[in-house]
């Protein structure tokens, strides 16, 4: 039965191989930097050859695209869920956002670091940065509403704004600035961890959540 062997057009072993390649790519990118993450090295990382890699992805750009999208989706899914479950309070939602982010970083060390590496190291063939390219991908009309919703959940601005409007957060807070700052603080974990293996992302998450709480919450 085709339906048993295939899922979204790919056989299971094909999917497994792609998974393996994506993992290998992430690893090499983290280890050597995106600039030095050649197809040969990615191939070697999974005990294969550059040809083997290119058999499963049309070109390097597609491979990186798949990798980024994969990490984003996995991350967005868990983070969106955590925020959803946190209830209506902006404070609780913000805390959940931060904790979930750093829990994801903790449990997906390589992936999180790879994302950081790519977010400033990657340029598309026509010279655009990852953010810009991502925006195009996300606007892909083939993307489902749920996916869109989850990816949108990564945006902190509405969350902060809600807190301000509900009076839970200080009125003088600028949602845009706060979002930028917190996103920066969250992303800092991966690079910090990269240069300091003893770093504990989840502990950092708890500290950061408290920090953000004190910074945002209206003084009673």
Q: At 11, which helix (H) or strand (E)? A: strand 10-11
Side-chain half-sphere of 181: how many Cα atoms within 13 Å?
13
In the set 58, 127, 184, 198, which binds DNA (CB under 7 A)?
58
Q: Is 79 helix (H, G, I), strand (E, B) or coil?
A: helix
Residue choice 57, 72, 104, 204 for contact with its own copies (CB under 8 A): 204
SS3 at position 153: coil
Give CA–CA dist 41/44, Å, rounded.
Answer: 5
Nearer to DNA, 63 or 82 (CB): 63
Counting Cα atoms < 13 Å in the Cβ hemisphere of 82 gives 20
Binding-site partner at residue 33 among DNA, its own copies, none, CB < 5 to 8 Å by type: its own copies
Q: Rounded to the nearest whole angstrom, what is the least distance from the CB of residue 81 to its own copies in the complex?
A: 24
DSSP 148: H
Q: Which residues bind DNA (CB under 7 A)?
A: 11, 13-14, 17, 36-41, 43, 47-52, 54-56, 58-61
Q: Which residues bind its own copies (CB under 8 A)?
A: 31-36, 116-117, 119-123, 127, 129, 131-132, 170, 172-174, 177-178, 180-189, 191-192, 194-195, 203-204, 207-208, 210-212, 214-216, 219
């Amino acid at each position: 039965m085709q339906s048993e062997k295939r899922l979204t057009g790919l056989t299971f072993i094909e999917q497994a191989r792609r998974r393996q390649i994506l993992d290998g790519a992430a690893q090499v990118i983290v280890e050597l930097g995106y600039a030095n993450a050649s197809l040969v090295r990615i191939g070697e990382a999974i005990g294969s050859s550059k040809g083997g890699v290119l058999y499963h992805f049309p070109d390097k750009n597609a491979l990186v695209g798949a990798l980024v999208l994969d990490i984003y989706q996995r991350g967005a899914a868990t983070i969106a869920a955590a925020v959803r479950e946190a209830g209506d309070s902006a404070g609780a939602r913000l805390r959940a956002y931060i904790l979930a982010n750093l829990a994801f970083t903790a449990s997906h060390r390589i992936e999180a670091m790879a994302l950081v590496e790519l977010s400033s190291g990657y340029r598309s063939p026509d010279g655009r940065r990852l953010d810009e390219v991502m925006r195009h991908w996300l606007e892909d009309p083939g993307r489902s509403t749920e996916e869109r919703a989850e990816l949108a959940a990564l945006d902190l601005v509405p969350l902060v704004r809600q807190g301000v409007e509900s009076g839970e957060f200080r009125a003088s807070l600028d949602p845009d600035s706060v979002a930028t700052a917190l996103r920066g603080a969250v992303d800092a974990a991966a690079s910090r961890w990269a240069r300091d293996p003893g770093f504990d992302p989840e502990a950092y998450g708890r500290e950061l959540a408290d920090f953000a709480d004190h910074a945002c919450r209206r003084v009673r």
